[in-house]
Every structure is written in structure tokens, then in C-alpha cells.
A = this chain, B = another copy of it.
Amino acid sequence: MLKAILATGNSDKIIEIAAILRDVELLPRPSHLGDVDEAGDTLEDNARLKAIAVVEATGTLTIADDTGLEVDFLGGLPGVRTSRFAGENATYDDNIKKILAELEGIEVPRRTARFRTVAIACFPNGTEILTQGVLHGSIALAASGYGGFGYDPVFIPDETPGRTLAELSFEDKNSISHRGLAFRALAQRLKDY
């Protein structure tokens, strides 16, 4: 089985990616490598920064992702600042409160948004495989549901009218989500490679 380091320390992401990438043996990111400053201007740059730091230190195939929420009314924000929208050490709740506040009074048809995940696999020889997954939907008027993580309680996918991502089962979320799409595409490309 293909082995790859998963360059994330976010336990919510790890458990989703492990469920999606069942044909890859995921190895942990070595703990002595410090956090990577996500200083890139794009999701692609940030995913690459995270993966390259690990592949260069270890010489082992490394997988990473970066995910952004793009809200049309906010001109595509929070985008690369998705996890830090309410500040550097923002919790999921802080970010949800901020996005609901920013869209206060905005009606449903103008709350369109999308989740975008860029997944990357970087080989020690410099080869890189990059895939993307996009989930279209809108920002709910209030948080609902306990599944998933991050902004899931306020994101209503177009495929599931009236239900947020946090109200879907783990399997249903992964079957339609940006992360599911990006990592299933990555798995296929790795298989073909």
C-alpha cells in the first residue's frame, strides 16, 4: 500500500482524510517540525508550503491540503484566511459568529458561497500532483447541526436544501464535500501515477 505523510495536525481533518483515502497508509507528521506559516496568497500556495516543508525534511511522499470558504457578498472572503477569519487564534465558534455578523440582514439569495479544497501530493523527486474540490452552497441564517467542524454548521450545500453540512452524516458529508472531492481525485491520480 502507498505510504504518505499527512501534513496536518488538525484532528478533525485527519479523521476525514483517513476515511476518504482508505488506500493510502497515512503516516504522522514528525512532531519536531514546527508549524508552517500559511503565508501564501492562494490555497495552492499554502497547501504546497505545508507539504514541501515536510517532504524536504523527511524525503517521504507528503500529502497536504488547504481549504477556503469563499462568500460572494464578501468578495470571496475569508478565502485563505478561513481558519483565522476572527483572529489568529480564532475558534470555530468565533469564526461562525463573525461570518454571521458580516452577513447580518443579507437575504438568502445573496448569501451564496463555496468551499474550495486544494489537495496536494509532493514526491521527494519534486513531482507534485494537485487536485481541487468545490462545494457550492450558501451561508445559513443561523448555525445548525453538530457534525463536521469549522463552518459546517452555517454552510448549506446546494445538494441538501435546508440542511447544513453539520446536519449530514459523516459519510454523506464526505460523499459531496470539497475535501471528499479533492482527495478522491488525488487518490485516483496517485493510483495512475
Contact = CB atoms under 8 A, between A and B. Distances in A.
Interface of A: 6, 8-12, 14-16, 18-19, 22, 25-28, 30-32, 92, 146-149, 170
Given A11-B14, A15-B6, A26-B18, A31 B170 contact: no
14 contacts: A8-B11, A9-B11, A11-B11, A12-B28, A12-B31, A14-B15, A14-B18, A19-B25, A19-B26, A28-B149, A30-B147, A31-B146, A31-B149, A32-B146
Contacts of A11: 8-11, 14
B26 A15 contact: yes
How many copies of this kind of chain does the complex include?
2
Contacts of A147: 28, 30
A27 B146 CA distance: 13
A131 to B, nearest CB: 21
Contact of A15 (B12, B16, B18, B148): B18
Contacts of A12: 28, 31
Contacts of A10: 11
Contact of A16 (B16, B22, B28): B28
Contacts of A15: 6, 14, 18, 26-28
Nearest to A58: B146
Contacts of A22: 22
A134 to B, nearest CB: 23
